[in-house]
Amino acid sequence: MKTTVVIGGNFAGMTAALEIKRKGKKGHKVLVIDKSPLFLFVPSLIWVPFGRKEIKDISFRKDTVLEKKGVDFVQAEALNVDPDSQIVHTTKGDFTYDHLVIATGPKVKYDVAPGVQEHAHYIGTPNGAMKTRKALEEFKKNPGPIVIGATQNAGCMGAAYEFLFNVEKWLREQKIRKKVDLYWITPETFLGHFGIDGITGGETMLKSFMKMFNIHYRTQVGVKEVTAESVTLTSDEVLPSKFTMLMPPFVGVDFVVNSPKLEATAAGYLPVGDDYRHFKYPNIWSAGIAVDVKLPFKPGKVPFSGPKTGYPSDETGKIVAENIIRVTQGKDNLKKKAWGKIPGICVMDAGKKEVIILSDHLFKPRNFAIMIPNIFYDFNKVLFEKYFLWKTKHGYSQLP
């Protein structure tokens, strides 16, 4: 019997673990190691600050789902790995493996600029989303200017755009919109770049949104400093702000950084091929955010990164699972699909409105790419959340 240890159990890790067990059956032992027993549908965190969703609505116990499907679960922090001895060291002891899948989420680099951690809110964690909710409740008592956006080196611009339009909607619902100057700041070379070099018509659409909702915007800027009352940009412009939400950069987690033999990049990501197999260690694989992704474009005068969203994380988890099964069967024709060749499928919420983004490839060149606005309601975003939670709760990892 072969043993695969999976580090991380959200989009990529859970998919990989369930697929390896489903395809390997009794001939394959699968163990997931994660600090949290909860699966979290991260894309819906943008709704938590406004009370539209609670954390319990978008999370569930993944350990019980995994165990029902025959996957072992250990709630522990993975500390490091020795790839030569094939041992993972954790806070709950050591674990040996035949194959290792590293599917860890990101570590947030809050120290990207002075004051970001102390004075800017971040919605990418349950705790951050709830703190943002509390801050908005205080803000509406004494409203003023708001700054929302992404810092230099950030890659998750999409979620920041979603939060921006949800804030604008919330301000109108609270009847304080006229009291608020709303600013959008981004390192992108143009609106709607998203770290994927844009989608046809995207820049024009977002410019029209900014004009329609009276949102001031700055492109090709980073953050020099954040205070309780202002945001200083790398252009030296100082924007007043009584509430600030910023998406900082992501970097690799401590587990990877503390495992020097993995030869991770300076940012802490894993060097793998289009089969998501480690270049040096053929029994180590990576999926999701932990993967080092080469960008096919030059960011511009302010650096930024590409997105690592749920769909490509789920897809790379499936590719890794298929390849591990092929290797254990003695096959050498591995499945390959570069990150940039994975289709772009995203529904961007715009404050109870939405934009559906579809493309055959995440990165250019593409055969088709389209943005479809839905000005009536964000029901596709809602339906996707319900579908993904349903399929994951039932362990249906083989579904798209």
Residues 102-118: what's their mean pLDDT? 96
Q: How confident is the model at residue 37 (pLDDT cuts 50, 70, 90)?
A: very high
pLDDT at 214: 97
Residues 78-89: what's their mean pLDDT? 98
Portions of the chain given CATH number 3.50.50.60: 2-107+250-339, 110-248
Q: Is the pLDDT of residue 300 over 90?
A: no
pLDDT at 277: 98
Residues 86-108: what's their mean pLDDT? 97
State pLDDT tens for residues 60-71. 999 999 999 999
Task: Check: CB of residue 43 under 8 Å from CB of residue 388.
Answer: no
Architecture of domain 2-107+250-339: 3-Layer(bba) Sandwich (3.50)
Residues 25-29: what's their mean pLDDT? 95
Kindly state the percentage of the chain with pLDDT values over 90.
92
pLDDT at 181: 98
Task: Check: CB of residue 235 under 8 Å from CB of residue 252.
Answer: no
pTM of the model: 0.95
Residues 189-207: what's their mean pLDDT? 93
Q: What average pLDDT does the chain have?
A: 96
State pLDDT tens for residues 302-356. 999 999 988 999 999 999 999 999 999 999 999 999 999 999 999 999 988 899 9
Higher-confidence residue of 170 and 353: namely 170
Q: Is the pLDDT of residue 292 over 80?
A: yes
Class of domain 110-248: alpha beta
